[in-house]
């Protein structure tokens, strides 16, 4: 119990130091808080990858709102509340998207049929998806964040900007560069492969 209480006091001190610009304390706090954030996200979101994405959203918001933390109050509820909020937003958005989308499983037969007829096309589609994933993973951080928020999450620019801490202009530039880099990279793959 004493260790836990002590640890909580340490977290508050780290956060206060982070507000003063201490990067090492901030790094220690965010890493120490990861299990808490992951627990909050996993309680709300069953899909492991989606929950991890929510944790990353929460980290971006924590960073953006770090000036709102009051060091006289415990930091855990503050961190957990932000993470809860990001999870709820993510679930809501997914709900909205699902309303517009039809699960691809419903077309399993339709998709499988041409694969039998022309296995080459299907394997090419699979290759492209894997390549796309790899290409996105290799993008610089800011471009990946911009692409993720503005294109994949389909957020309005202002909201993507609020979440990422990047200005609207920087987001536009980063998204544009990311798309160009992907096109260049994947265009090259198709030429090489086909």
Partner 1 sequence: MRTEDLIAELTDGLRPVRRLAPPGRRAALWLCFAALAVGSPVALFGLRPDLASRLALPHEAMQLAASLATGVLAAVAAFHLALPDRSPRWALLPLPTLALWLGSLGWGCMADAARLGPGALVLGTSWGCLRFILGLGVPLMATMLWALRHAGPVRPVPVVLLGALAAASLCSFGLSLFHRLDAAAMVLAWHGGATALMLLIGWAFGRPALIAASAVR
Binding stretches for partner 1 (CB under 8 A): 18-24, 26-27, 30-31, 34, 52, 55-56, 59-61, 63-71, 73, 77-78, 81-82, 85-86, 137, 141, 144-145, 156, 158-159, 161-163, 167-168
Q: Least CB distance from residue 104 to partner 1, whole Å? A: 25
Collect all residues with Cβ–Cβ distance below 8 Å to 159 and sequence separation of at least 6: 149
Q: From the CB of 66, what's the least distance to partner 1, in Å?
A: 6
**Cα distance between residue 79 and residue 3, in whole Å:** 20
- Distance of closest approach, residue 191 Cβ to partner 1, in angstroms: 28
* Token pair in block for residue 52: 């991890």
Q: 116: which 2 tokens?
A: 């039998």
* Burial group, residue 176, by CB count within 10 angstroms (0-12, 13-18, 19+): middle
Nearer to partner 1, 72 or 110 (CB): 72
Among residues 115 and 181, whose Cβ is nearest to partner 1?
181
Pick the closer one to partner 1 by CB: 65 or 111.
65
In whole angstroms, the minimum distance from the beta carbon of 180 to partner 1 comes to 19
Instruction: Quickly count helices (H) and strands (E) in the chain.
Output: 9, 0
Cα–Cα distance list, 145 to 4, 103, 176 (Å): 35, 26, 12
Nearer to partner 1, 114 or 156 (CB): 156
């Amino acid at each position: 119990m004493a260790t836990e209480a002590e640890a909580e006091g340490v977290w508050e001190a780290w956060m206060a130091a982070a507000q003063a610009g201490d990067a090492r304390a901030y790094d220690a706090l965010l890493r120490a808080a990861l299990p808490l954030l992951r627990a909050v996200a996993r309680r709300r979101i069953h899909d492991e990858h989606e929950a991890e994405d929510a944790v990353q959203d929460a980290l971006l918001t924590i960073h953006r709102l770090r000036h709102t933390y009051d060091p006289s109050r415990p930091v855990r509820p503050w961190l957990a509340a932000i993470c809860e909020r990001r999870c709820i937003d993510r679930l809501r958005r997914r709900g909205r998207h699902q309303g517009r989308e039809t699960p691809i499983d419903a077309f399993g037969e339709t998709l499988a049929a041409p694969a039998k007829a022309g296995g080459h096309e299907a394997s090419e589609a699979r290759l492209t998806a894997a390549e796309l994933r790899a290409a996105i993973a290799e993008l610089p951080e800011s471009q990946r964040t911009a692409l993720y928020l503005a294109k994949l999450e389909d957020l309005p620019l202002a909201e993507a900007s609020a979440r990422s801490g990047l200005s609207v202009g920087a987001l536009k530039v980063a998204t544009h560069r990311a798309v160009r880099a992907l096109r260049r990279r994947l265009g090259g793959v198709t030429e090489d492969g086909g």
